[in-house]
Structures are given as structure tokens and as C-alpha cells.
Structure 1
Amino acid sequence: MSDISREDIDHLASLARLALTEEELSTYADQMDTIMDAVSKVSQVNTEGVEPMSHPHSIHAPMREDVEIKTLTQEQALDQAPEVEDERFVVPQILGEAE
């Protein structure tokens, strides 16, 4: 068993602004224990001599040429914006917290 407690799940939920019931806290704590145990088993596999890879198949992914292309100027990018302040887009606050 891992050390993920209901209190840990409750703390994470509050950081994510999620309201969880007592039953959900217990369920998620059990699920996290299961996940952490599975990850722990994978980390115990002997990988000595195994080359790390980003893809399960040997593929060659050529890189494109790094070519400079013309983009919008700041004025062009902002000219259709609903609201601009200090030469930047103004977007609504999403977390409801004042800074």
C-alpha cells in the first residue's frame, strides 16, 4: 500500500477546487493506492541494458527545415481584440481571486 491518505486526496481536491463527498474521498484514495502500487511494480523491473525510447517502434522522424516566416505584428494581432490594455489582450479572470 502507498501512503496516499484521504487527507491527501482532500488537499489535492481543494487545490483543484473540487468538492468531494466523504465516499468520493475514500474511493479516490483507494484508486490512488492501486495506481501507486502498479507504478511501484513497474519501477522494480530490471531495465539494465535496455535503451530508452520515445516510441515502441524504431521510426525515423525527420525534422523540417527551420525557416523564418512572416507573422502578424503586435498591432495586427491586437486590432480585432475585444479589449486591450498596455498593448496586451485583456482576458477575464477565471479563478475569482484578486492578485
Structure 2
Amino acid sequence: MSLTRDDVAKIAHLARLALTDEELAHYQEQLSAVLDYAARLNELDLSGVAPASAAAIGQNVMRDDVIAPSLPREDALFNAAAVAQGQFLIQSVLEE
């Protein structure tokens, strides 16, 4: 499928692109080549191929959401450089 110069100009307008005459000619050639390739894909015989719902077949691995005790605060803060009121104390990065 070959695009006309007006087709490319309309696409550029919809994409809010200001193209020069040289760019219009360049993109006319490139976009026509892409559409020609897509048309070739339509010629494939896919009668024996089952449709796929995803490109990669996988399965999510999820665990049950079970309430369990968490790490004690003292253990979490054990290697902290500085602690204040049971929390990590860090240097301020924003000026007040």
C-alpha cells in the first residue's frame, strides 16, 4: 500500500508534527514500506494456528496472604547509623 504525500501530511498534522517537504517524502517512503510489510503478513496461511491470548504464556505465582509476625523493631534498627524515637534518623535533604 502506497501512501500519498497528502496522507503523510495528514498523519503529521494529527501527530502535531511540522515536517519539511524533504521529511514528508522520506516518511512517505518509510510508512509505505511498513504498510507493505503488514500487507504481506495478511497473506500468511494461519488456518492451522490456534489463536493466542498472550505473547508469552505464563502463570502468576501468588502466595496466600497470611498474617504473620514481622521483624521486631530493634532488629530492623540494629545496623542503623542513627535512630530517633524508634525510627531511622537520616540527614535532611530539603532546607526548611
Tell me the TM-score normalized by structure 2.
0.56
The one-character-per-residue Cα deviations of 1:34-62 (angstroms, maximum 9, x if unpaired) are 1011001111000002012222x5x3323
Aligned equivalent of 1:61, options 51, 56, 59: 59
Whole-angstrom distance in 2 between the partners of 1:28 and 1:35 = 10
In the TM superposition, structure 1's runs of 4+ consecutive aligned residues that sit over 4 Å from their partners are none
Q: Partner residue of 2:24?
A: 25
Report the equivalent of 1:8. Answer: 7
Taking the TM superposition and a 5 Å limit, the aligned residue runs for 1:42-53 are 42-53=41-52
**2-side partners of 1:9 and 1:64: how far apart?**
48
Q: 2 CA distance for matches of 1:29 and 1:45?
A: 26
Task: Name structure 2 gaps, 5 residues minimum.
Answer: 66-96
**CA RMSD for the aligned pairs?**
2.1
> Where do 5+ consecutive residues of structure 1 fail to align?
68-99
| Distance apart, 1:64 and its partner CA | 5.7
- Higher-Rg structure is 2
Matched positions, count: 63
The residue aligned with 1:37 is 36
Output the CA distance in 2 between the equivalents of 1:6 and 1:64.
53
3-state DSSP of counterpart to 1:18? coil
